[in-house]
Chains A and B, each alone.
Chain A
Amino acid sequence: MKTPGTRKPEEELPNTKPSRRNLIALSASVAAAGLTTLAACNTKPAETAPSMLGTAPSKYGNRSPHEAAARSLPPESKTPSTGASRTPLQDTYGIITPSSLHFERHHSGVPDIDPAKHELLIHGLVEQPLVYSLDDLKRFPAQSRVHFVECSGNGRSEYSGNLAPDPQASHGLASCSEWTGVPVKLLLAEAKLKPEAKWLIAEGGDACKLTRSIPLAKLLDDAMIVYGQNGEPIRPEQGYPMRLLLPGWEGNTNIKWLRRLNLADGPAMTTHETAFYTDLLPDGKARQFSFENEAKSVITRPAGGQKIAAGPGMHDITGLAWSGRGKITRVEISTDGGRIWKDAELQMAGFAKAFTRFRMPWIWDGSATSIQSRATDETGYLQPAAEEMLAVRGRNFGYHNNQIKTWFVRADGTVSHVEQGA
Chain B
Amino acid sequence: MYDFTYHKAASLDDAAKLLASAVDAKPIAGGQSLLPMMKFRLASPSDLVDLGTIAGLDRIEAEGGTLTLGAMCRHGAVCTSEVVQKTLPALAHLAGLIGDPAVRHRGTLGGSLANNDPTADYPAAAVSLGATIVTSKREIAAEDFFTGLFETALEPDEIVVAARFPVPEKAAYEKFRNPASRYAMVGVFVAKFPDVVRVAVTGAGASGVFRVPSFEEALSKDFSADALKGLSISTDGLAGDIHASAEYRAHLVGVMARRAVAAANG
- Asked if chains A and B come from one complex, the reply is no
**Chain A contacts to B: CB under 8 angstroms:** none
